[in-house]
Structure 1
């Protein structure tokens, strides 16, 4: 199995020596092709900072981020634009749809920016819209959609370029429990059926239970790792194990199962 993303001793410090905040303090991890990896931790643990470094929104203080063997922070100009547009698909907590574009236009925007043919664009749109059950809102504007529909449209936009990895930042954060469950089932299905590689930051144990592996971050460091014992372990059993680690994370205990 191919390594899609490799992170080595990643650090991001804010402030000056003596008064530093260590948002990331030496993170090392790998994401394999077809993996559904969750990143969990309390608020301020460094989860979103990690995602933003991978997305090249934030420049790390030190360390390496390799995407399919290429050091991403050495990319400039067109190569950087191609990385952001083609290699990563970003799914935001608050949808980030453009209000004056229809669902179809929002989803197709990355395709037009990167000069993908109309034929190929239409084929991908049709497949994703059908799978995500958003065919009926393609010609609606975001203001005419429910929260769940907006997030599934946003998911289609993140997936439309068939990126090397999908970065999902608290994707269920703005959804009620029913829509959150629908979205997570769809993401898990894409991972299972399409071999989509997903890295998801979440504080929601329910959402995390759809992952295959979870890394728990505390104070900018990896604190613990859980792997779902598929196919023997049920989602409920994995959820229970996640809750146990989260409760001990809060207490600062390193003695977790």
Structure 2
């Protein structure tokens, strides 16, 4: 498979000398095109820092982030804006929708920022809204939507520019179990049917079971890796294997954030 993202010896430290925290301590891995990769670990393990470094929200202290062999840290100006807008799509835990805009307007924000053809954007919106089952809330404001609807609108916004990779930060964190399952089924479908590449940070074992591969992070490094044996291994069987690793990481799911 084709490599989309390479993380090489990535480091991010907070504080100095004795009080220094090594959020990322030289972590390395690759993300392949069409992969659904999960990142799990105990609280403070560095997984959110990792996602923020990839999204260029946080600047690493060392190492490399390469998207299709291009050094992300070197991007500036228009190239950086293109990376943030078109190369990656970011799905937040708390939706981050603008309250004064309708669902449709929220989804179309990236298109207006990047001067995408209106005809093309409308077609893309119709396709995503149908797949994510949000057609009926496009003209509603976030205050009129359920949590699940908000997150699926946010997912459409992250996908509207057809990015090379989706970064999902605890996407089920603010959802009940039913809406979480619906969202993960849609994300799994996007991965399997549309070939979307997804990198997801999660503490939710059930959400993680939809992934094809999971990296467990501890003390800023990869502690363990699991791959789902598709098609022989069911999602429930993979879920049980995830639970076993989580127990090793910190004694149970309540410690794996």
Q: TM-score w.r.t. structure 1 length?
A: 0.97
Shift of 1:251: 4.9
Report 1:97-108 matches (<5 A).
Answer: 97-108=97-108
Structure 2 spans left out of the alignment, 5+ residues: 253-257
- Separation of aligned partners in 2, 1:21 and 1:109: 37
Give the superposed CA RMSD.
0.9
The DSSP-based 3-state class of the residue aligned with 1:18 is helix
The DSSP-based 3-state class of the residue aligned with 1:27 is strand
Report 1:1-257 matches (<5 A).
Answer: 1-251=1-251
Shift of 1:43: 1.2
Count of residue correspondences? 252
- Separation of aligned partners in 1, 2:192 and 2:232: 16
- Separation of aligned partners in 1, 2:121 and 2:55: 24
1:136-174 Cα offsets, whole Å, 9 max, x none, are 000000000000000000000000000010000000000
Q: TM-score w.r.t. structure 2 length?
A: 0.97
1:152-200 Cα offsets, whole Å, 9 max, x none, are 0000000000001000000000000000000000000000000000000
1:200-256 Cα offsets, whole Å, 9 max, x none, are 00001000000000000011110000000000000000000000000011159xxxx
The DSSP-based 3-state class of the residue aligned with 1:210 is coil
Shift of 1:6: 0.3
- Separation of aligned partners in 1, 2:145 and 2:213: 32
* Runs of 4+ displaced beyond 2 Å: none
- Separation of aligned partners in 1, 2:169 and 2:8: 21
Shift of 1:17: 2.2
Structure 1 spans left out of the alignment, 5+ residues: 253-257
